[in-house]
Every structure is written in structure tokens, then in C-alpha cells.
Amino acid sequence: MFVDNILNCVILGSGPAGYSSAIYAARAYLTPILYTGMEPGGKLTTTTCVDNYPGYPEGINGSKLMEKLEEQAKRFHTIIKKQEAVYFEFSTSHKMGVIHQIKNDYGNIIKTRGLIISTGTTPKYLGLYSEKRLIGFGVSSCATCDGFLYRAKNVAVIGGGDTAIEDTIYLSKICAKVYLLVRRGYFRASKVMQYRISILSNVETLFNYEIAEILGDKTVKGIRVVNNKTNKKKFFSIEGLFLAIGNTPNTQPLKGKLKMDDKGYILTEKVSTKTNTQGVFAAGDVQDPIYRQAITSAGTGCMAALDLERYLSIVK
Ligand code: NDP
């Protein structure tokens, strides 16, 4: 229901958190409008098989899962717009409670009483000059998007978390050889993932190694790496370099407008999705530096819709 063209529920982001909050908000007759952002479906669309989302005993392709969530949100009449929010003006007082204004990338101003932010995170890069020059020419942060380009070639993966191992497993099925470079002396990844790569014959894991330089004029031809304990240097001839070194929360346009931690994750009140601004809630990876799973994102998306519904019933 709209009040003076003021919406009740705007959702930003189209990952599991965004769609789950849309499903709950729509079923509560809050008439949600969901802005997908620049990457409809979010990070899961770059994953091949999601094995750990309950209800899919055989696993499900990441893009397929997101299509199903979108379909479910649409079934309850969520309006989905392939647009991005670029500017926020919070806390404008109004007789109907606090009204928030959002500008989208078309320059339109949207007014809403309730806002759910589920904009997710973006992959990190190393910050080397050679890396910047070669992004898209051998340097990638998405193994499942670009892995097929390196069929029967040598590649390297950087990182010691679950993403690095998942990428390594994926690439080991396509590439001749995968070097996995971990900067510490141990993995951060879960034990089950560590076991999975330990049995792959074309994967070589190197602990305590960091990249000194990425070589190649137009495309990646190799990497120089250095052992951060012994200073021993090595060279690997590779054509693809995959970065799996974590993520940055997509909160840039919200800086200074909502409380965040030092990494830019939105801070929410304990056991809720409430931010420090009335009527604004955060769900999914954008507020979760710890769990960051599809299922926890979906869970907090549900919480955000319930929190918003309760908030609107109080301020009415
Ligand atoms: P993580 O933050 O868990 O791991 C990042 C890795 O990158 C760490 O090993 C870190 O090293 C390393 N790193 C960071 N910066 C650099 C750098 N500049 N140079 C070299 N190495 C660097 O991120 P992930 O994306 O792997 O995982 C995020 C979350 O998602 C986790 O909770 C994970 O469990 C989950 N996940 C689960 C999956 C599943 O269950 N199938 C699949 C993928 C992710 P250091 O340890 O030294 O900081």
C-alpha cells in the first residue's frame, strides 16, 4: 500500500537476502520494490554448484537457485527493477513517520518508510600495478566465470579460505595444473574443503607464499612469488591468476549515513537487522563479516522483512 506516493518497503540487492526479504515483505502486503543493483542475482550467479543450501539434496547451480528465488518473489508480486540506488537521504520527518529518500541511477527519487539494505560484497584485489593492468587479461576474481578460458593450461589461485579451495577444485577439472598460494602457514578454509583438494593430483598448494609480481605484457604469462618466512623466490609459468582473497561490503554510498565497522560492514542491533537509523534494516553479507553463507543471508533477509513489518505497525 502506498501513502502519498511513499512506499513501505524498498529492498536493495538481489542475492538470497534481498529475495528472501521480498518474499516475506510481499506476503505481509508491504508491496516491496526490489532494486537488483548492477549484478542481478548477486555472487551466487558466479558459483557452479551450491551443495549446502537446504532442500536441494543433489545440489543446485547458483544461477538456477537465484532464478528460483526471483520467481518466488515475483509470485507474490514483488516489483523488480534492474536499477541501482546511488544516493541516500535519511531521517526526513513526516506525519506518517520517518521517510527516507533514495536516488536511483536514472536520477529518480524514491520515497519510502522502510528500507532493507542487502547489497552484498565485492571481491578484493591485491593492489599490485601488474594486477590492475592485467585484469580481464588473465587476472580474474571469478573462477566459474573465466575458468573455461584456461582449458588444459596452468593457473594459480590466491587465498586460503573456502572460496580459494572451491575455485581450485573447479579449475582442477578444467586446467592442466593449479597452484594454490596461501600467505599463511595454514588454511582458513573448513576441514571438509581442505580434504577435497588434498586428493587432487593436479593441485600443488604452497603455504607462506605471496605474489611479488605478475608477468606478461598483454596477457598473464607467469608469476614471481616469494616465501614470506624464508624469502625464497619461485617463478611459475601460468596463464590465469584467480584471486579469492575476500570481499569488501558494498556500502560506499552509505558511508557516514549508517553506523558501520572499520571494514564497512553495516552494524545491526543484536539479534535483529535494525541499523542505527529508524526504518532502515540490513540483511545478508553487507552486515555479516562472519558467516556469509547463502542460507544465513536468506535468514537475515527474512528477519529484516519481519523487523520492518513490526516497525511499520508501531509507527502507523
Ligand atoms: P576469507 O576471508 O575466509 O578468506 C580470505 C583468504 O584470502 C584468507 O586466506 C586470507 O589470508 C587471504 N588473503 C586476504 N588478503 C590477501 C592478500 N592480500 N594476499 C594473499 N592472501 C590474502 O574469504 P572467503 O571468500 O574464502 O570466504 C568468505 C566466507 O564465505 C567464509 O565464511 C567462508 O566459509 C564462506 N564460503 C563458504 C563456502 C562453502 O561453504 N562452500 C564457499 C565459499 C565461501 P589470511 O587468512 O592470512 O587473512
* Pair 226, 236: CB distance under 8 Å: no
Separation CA 68–CA 11 (nearest Å): 18
pLDDT at 3: 47
> By C-alpha distance, which of 189, 175, 182 is closest to 138?
175
pLDDT at 91: 77
Q: Is the pLDDT of residue 4 over 60?
A: no
Say if ligand 1 is within 6 A of residue 226 CB. Answer: no
Q: Which residue has the cell 586446467?
A: 175
pLDDT at 1: 41
Say if ligand 1 is within 6 A of residue 164 CB. Answer: yes
Measured in Å, residue 168 CA sits from the centre of ligand 1 at 13
| Known catalytic membership, residue 145 | yes
Say if ligand 1 is within 6 A of residue 295 CB. Answer: no
Measured in Å, residue 158 CA sits from the centre of ligand 1 at 10
Please tell me the residue having the least CA distance from ligand 1 atom 13.
245
Q: Is the pLDDT of residue 94 over 90?
A: no
> In a 10 Å sphere around its CB, with 0-12 CB exposed, 13-18 middle and 19+ buried, how is residue 227 labelled?
middle
Q: Which residue has the cell 527493477?
A: 81
Measured in Å, residue 107 CA sits from the centre of ligand 1 at 36
**One-letter amino acid identity for 305?**
A
Please tell me the residue having the least CA distance from ligand 1 atom 7.
245
Q: 0.95 exceeded by the pTM? A: no
Say if ligand 1 is within 6 A of residue 143 CB. Answer: no
DSSP class of residue 168?
A: H
Mean of pLDDT over the chain: 94
